[in-house]
Amino acid sequence: MSEEQQVPFTSQQDMNQQDDTKTGDPETINVKVVSSSGDEVFFKIKRTTQLRKLLGAYANKVGKDVNTIRFLYDGTRISETDTPHSLEMEDNDTIDVMVEQVGGYSS
Amino acid sequence: MSARRSPNRKVQTGSMDLTIHRRVLKECPPFGYVCSCNREQYLEILTLVRNCRAHLPFLSFRLLSTVASRSHYQNALDQTFPALPFLPDRAYSDFDTQMKRIQNLILQLSLVARIKQIFIGSIGQHRVLPSDNVALIIIANLELLLDNVQSKKSSLELSWWKFLDNNPRKAQNLLNNLMKEIRPCSEEFWKNLRNISFHDFSTLGPGRWLNDEIINYFIDKWCSQSRTTLGFSTFFAGTCLFEDKVTCTVAKPVLTAQDELRVRRSVNRRQQMLNLKAWDSVFIPIHEGSTHWYSARIDFRLKRIDIYDSLQETCIINRQKPVSLRKNTNLMLNLMWLTEILASMRGDTVCLTNNPGCTWICDPHSRVPFQPNAFDCGVHTLWHLKHILEYRSVYSGGQDEVEGFSFSSDMVGKRLRLAMELLQDRKL
């Protein structure tokens, strides 16, 4: 259940250079977004692009409202203004997606 | 210092020479002559005193310019802010009015710190004038006053919390009204609170199940203020300690080097986020089976690992079982593994496995106050953290022992407190 996805906002130039990125363009990294049920979606993203765009693209893809899901990197919530650069993300790193948790009693 | 030795200095004692190292003296009643270099601070002090007098009519220039002791303003303050009778029908409006006045006063008085800093810097540069001494006394008095007003605020809060605990129905009405009042607010209303929307806020309502955003909000806030406790997010336990990150029911049976790496990365990220450099205790909220909140705590000072669960059945039944059959035994083993990793990250060595000489205490079903209902476990979980931060462990004692922080059978008073704390933070 995994598929490769070009983030729609990466510039045309980047898409043309897809082969270069495969061989390790330092400006772009591959990010794996893993849902709570284990489904994976792959994105290619510039290090300086705000992750907000990736999160929006993911939510769009899985058909969920971006405000109802939580994106975590190393267990910490990603904020809208974070970039792969600001989070010091590395190539092939994982972003976890979690849904709302509620609790009151053990069933 | 070099300015003092400057040959251009024209300080003359005896005759009234109006320049003190090239600075002009100006009149600033009621202080008399002041140096122009810090005249602005004098004016600020006067404005500050004037603004405070609006709340505290007893405040006079004369009173402030006499040396006072800590309890000096106590009586006057007690008269201005009398103890509230907390009559059921107007308890909230009385409390709210008095609290707003006190907060306003604190806001005014906290300006004194900045004035003091600039003022002290300036008097180092010229010979001290009599007016400077008076101003210093006034500054010290304003600081004392601030101290007194702050303790007034604490005692007002405490009596309000006790009132809420003793009147759960009243607290419930207030909380319902608050929810109704806030519901129509736009998204803009919530913009100062990271990740919180009305949907999240409404889970604090009476009888509702708390959601992760609310729990994470308070863990982040309280732990970053604590300087001692590293609080994880509600997603940590699922990813690092359990087999299924969503249900969190079965503890991971095998822990690998990759799991250790994940823990280390989470801890580093978390320390950074909470801006905690040295911590000696760790709080882990756990979301079980999509329906229940409970928590675990590792304390490196007390050398303890505890699992706190507000469900009576879980605690009582499991405490009677042999260790190997208790519900949380496997989770405890994973927490012991986690403790060893965390210890090495703290620059410490803790060995809990196969170590008969080990002095650590591991309680998989610690005794805590129980929830007598089917909705309060989230509030209990936050209150576990509150007790850890206030008293280092969860305290099930009566109201007198843990003033204002005791667990109550209905936690609706705490819900209102948390809701009010959130709304207060929104204004910051």
B84-93, B225-234, B324-333, B339-348: segment of lowest average pLDDT: B84-93
Report CB contact under 8 Å: B265, A96.
no
Q: What is the largest CA-CA distance in chain B?
A: 93
Classified as helix, coil or strand, A77 is strand
Question: Tell me, what DSSP letter sits at residue B253?
Answer: S
Question: Tell me, what DSSP letter sits at residue B240?
Answer: H
By Cβ distance, the residue of B195, B266, B377 closest to A74 is: B266
Digit-coded pLDDT (tens) for A24-34: 567 899 999 99
More confident residue, B245 or B177: B177
Q: Are B330 and B272 in contact (CB under 8 A)?
A: no
By Cβ distance, the residue of A67, A77, A105 closest to B377 is: A105
Domain spanning B209-407: CATH 3.60.20.10:
no
Q: Which residues of A touch B270 (CB under 8 A)?
A: 75-76
To which residue do tokens 């002009």 refer? B24
Chain B closest-CA separation from residue A104 CA (Å): 4
Quick one: which H or E segment has residue B135? helix B130-166
First to last CA, chain B: 41
Print the domain residue range for A85: 28-99
In a domain, A88, yes or no: yes
Q: What is the pLDDT of residue B37?
A: 86
Exposed / middle / buried, residue B378 (Cβ in 10 Å: 0-12, 13-18, 19+):
buried
Chain B closest-CA separation from residue A43 CA (Å): 21
Distance of CA B394 to the CA centre of its chain: 17
Q: Which residues contact B62 (CB under 8 A, 6 or more apart)?
A: none
Chain B closest-CA separation from residue A71 CA (Å): 10
For residue B220 the two structure tokens come to 């982040």
Q: Which residues of B touch A86 (CB under 8 A)?
A: none
Query: Percent of chain B, pLDDT > 70?
Result: 93
Checking DSSP bridges between strand A2-6 and strand A40-46, what pairing results, if any?
parallel
Average pLDDT, rounded, for chain B: 89
**Chain A, window 45-64: residues with a beta carbon less than 8 angstroms from a chain B beta carbon:** none
pLDDT at A19 over 60: no
In a domain, A32, yes or no: yes
**Identity of residue A29:** I
CA distances from B45 to B35, B51, B118, B196, B420 (A): 15, 10, 12, 39, 33
- Residues in B lying within 8 Å of A, measured between beta carbons: 194-195, 197, 203, 208-213, 216, 232-236, 238-240, 245-246, 262, 265-266, 268-270, 273, 287-293, 311, 314, 371, 373-378
Q: What's the domain count of chain A?
A: 1
Digit-coded pLDDT (tens) for B218-248: 999 999 999 899 999 999 999 999 998 889 9
Task: Select from B76, B381, B358 the least CA-distant residue to B203.
Answer: B381
Q: Are B363 and B307 in contact (CB under 8 A)?
A: yes
CA B405, CA B424: separation in Å to the nearest integer? 19
By Cβ distance, the residue of B194, B246, B289 closest to A106 is: B289
CA distances from B320 to A98, B43, B231, B366 (A): 36, 71, 30, 12
CA B304, CA B3: separation in Å to the nearest integer? 60
Q: Note if the pTM is more than 0.90.
A: no
Residue A89, domain CATH: 3.10.20.90
Digit-coded pLDDT (tens) for B37-68: 888 999 999 999 999 998 888 888 888 888 77
Question: Which of the four pLDDT bands, split at 50, 70 and 90, describes residue A20?
Answer: very low
Exposed / middle / buried, residue B24 (Cβ in 10 Å: 0-12, 13-18, 19+):
exposed
A38 vs B: CB within 8 A: no
Which residue is closest to A66 within chain B, CA to CA? B195
In a domain, A91, yes or no: yes
CA A41, CA A3: separation in Å to the nearest integer? 5
CA distances from B390 to B224, B303, B395 (A): 14, 18, 10
CA A17, CA B11: separation in Å to the nearest integer? 76
Peptide bond before residue B285 is cis, with ω within 30 degrees of 0: no
Digit-coded pLDDT (tens) for B292-338: 999 999 999 999 999 999 999 999 999 999 999 999 999 999 999 99
To which residue do tokens 């690998």 refer? B256
Which residue is closest to B292 within chain A, CA to CA? A103
Domain ranges of chain B: 35-166, 209-407
Other C-beta atoms within 10 Å of B45: how many?
A: 24
By Cβ distance, the residue of A67, A99, A103 closest to B378 is: A103
CA B158, CA B98: separation in Å to the nearest integer? 14
Q: Which residues contact B341 (CB under 8 A, 6 or more apart)?
A: B260, B263, B264
Q: Are A8 and A61 in contact (CB under 8 A)?
A: no
To which residue do tokens 């009234």 refer? B16
Q: DSSP states of B260-315 as a string?
A: HHHHHHHHHHHHHHHT-S--SEEEEEEEETTTEEEEEEEETTTTEEEEE---HHHH
**Identity of residue A87:** L
